[in-house]
Amino acid sequence: MRTLFLVFVCLGIGYGVAVSQFQKRTANIENVMGTRRDMEAAIVEAKTSDLQPGKIEVVGGTELDFGTMRLGTKRAHSFIFRNVGETPVEVVYKTSSCKCTVGKKDAKTLKAGEQTTVDLEWLAEGTQTDFAQTATIATSALDQEEIKLTIKGKIGQAHVFDPPIADFREFQSSEEHEIKGRLYSFEDAPLEIASMHWSDKALSQKINCTLGEYKKLEKEEIPAYADARYYVDFTIQISKGIPAGPISGNMIFVKKSRKEDAKEDGKEDGKPEQVELSVQGRSVSPIRVIAGADFNEDRNIFTLGSAKSSVGLKKSFVLSLKGDADKNVEVKLGDVIPATAKDALKISITEVKGTSAKLKMFSVTLEIPPGSPTVEFGGAFGKDFAKIVLETNMESAPQFPMYIKFRILE
């Protein structure tokens, strides 16, 4: 019994020494709202009081989306801090990210029901990208030591498209398609477009753009584009019969030139400014290639293979065409590019018997006869492919281009 008593005495002495040493070490350690003893006293007082502890509510939330801001412009927002508890709460600025400025940094004690504002300011700098900046405010409220405020948005240039990319995704070449959008201007001068054109001349007759009416905006009229001054709606149309395959290019909007703007920019010739919208998608033709693993449909590449000149090469694939019932669909060879591929390739096209009027099938044979000179179209880059163009009498798919990959060795 005496031994057990001594053990308890030793444990009690050890605990007392440990607590004493901890209190000495932490007595003057600063918390965001004061020393450890200050915080302990505040917690005890709050727990023993009949009043509801003070609590900060940020009216409207702790996050704000500025939307798209023009490069070089400045925006500010006041977050409202309200004490919804019954005991006072102290609010103190703590820190902010490097590009976000806090307007008011003085400590403020809010009595029950009182409120104050914390002003955050942001200067849109850097390249066109998303931004998010934060500020941390400390409080003396229980379980609310920090409140993080966030402002975010996009940094835009003088002109911004919505949507930023016109994506047609996958579409049928036998049908017409369109995408609507809007061009915003952050300039004070009225927005005026002189002309629009597609970046690829070969498809300029198949991809067009029309404009709606020009509109002037009051500041912050459209929250997502609060700094925009003007806008114009547009529609991009793709006509029937666009060749099968990926579509990737730009719709180019040419602004009307202004002599006064040109002088300010140091451009005495008054060369008009261009604004470009990226357009992408994939045209799916009513013409399909049946060739198994030899045909890459995503890249529209047929692999003929490689062989020695003394042996030659020969492969076939089937072309399936969904045509109109009242038209007798025909297929013929249009062209072979470049000239070296045209000299090497022998191409024959024959109709597969027994097909219907709506679905016609043709067998296409590509042959390089034995004894042909060496030639290489390995397909590492676009210029390294041969290209054949098959022509039809179908309005929805007048041409079907294909890339051919082959090598003839010594």
401-406: average pLDDT: 92
Residues 6+ apart with CB under 8 A from 215: 230, 231, 232
Residue with the bigger pLDDT between 127 and 184: it is 184
* ∠ CA 190-195-197, rounded to 5°: 135
What local confidence, expressed as pLDDT, does residue 362 receive? 94
Enter the pTM of the model: 0.50
Residue 217 has pLDDT above 80, yes or no: yes
Residue 251 has pLDDT above 90, yes or no: yes
What local confidence, expressed as pLDDT, does residue 175 receive? 85
Residue 262 has pLDDT above 50, yes or no: no
Residue 23 has pLDDT above 70, yes or no: no
What local confidence, expressed as pLDDT, does residue 198 receive? 94
Could you give all domains of the chain from N- to C-terminal order, each with its CATH number? 56-156 (2.60.40.10), 159-284 (2.60.40.10), 287-409 (2.60.40)
282-311: average pLDDT: 90
163-192: average pLDDT: 91
Residue 24 has pLDDT above 50, yes or no: no
Which residue pairs, CB below 8 angstroms and at least 24 apart, start in 306-309? 306/406, 306/407, 306/408, 306/409, 307/368, 307/407, 307/408, 307/409, 308/408, 308/409, 308/410, 309/370, 309/371, 309/372, 309/373, 309/374, 309/408, 309/409, 309/410
395-402: average pLDDT: 83
346-370: average pLDDT: 89
47 within 8 A of 15, measured Cβ to Cβ: no
Residue 92 has pLDDT above 60, yes or no: yes
Mean pLDDT of the chain: 81
Residue with the bigger pLDDT between 67 and 211: it is 211
Residue 39 has pLDDT above 60, yes or no: no
Residue with the bigger pLDDT between 256 and 22: it is 256
Residue with the bigger pLDDT between 230 and 131: it is 230
Nearest residue to 85 (alpha-carbon basis) of 53, 117, 108, 48 = 53
260-278: average pLDDT: 62
What local confidence, expressed as pLDDT, does residue 47 receive? 53
Q: What pLDDT, in 10s, does the model give residues 1-18?
A: 555 455 444 545 554 544
Residue with the bigger pLDDT between 13 and 349: it is 349
CB atoms inside a 10 Å sphere around CB 295: 16
Residue 80 has pLDDT above 80, yes or no: yes
319-348: average pLDDT: 86
321-345: average pLDDT: 85
99-106: average pLDDT: 68
Residues 6+ apart with CB under 8 A from 145: 31, 32, 33, 138, 139
Residue 164 has pLDDT above 80, yes or no: yes
Residue 255 has pLDDT above 80, yes or no: yes
What local confidence, expressed as pLDDT, does residue 347 receive? 96
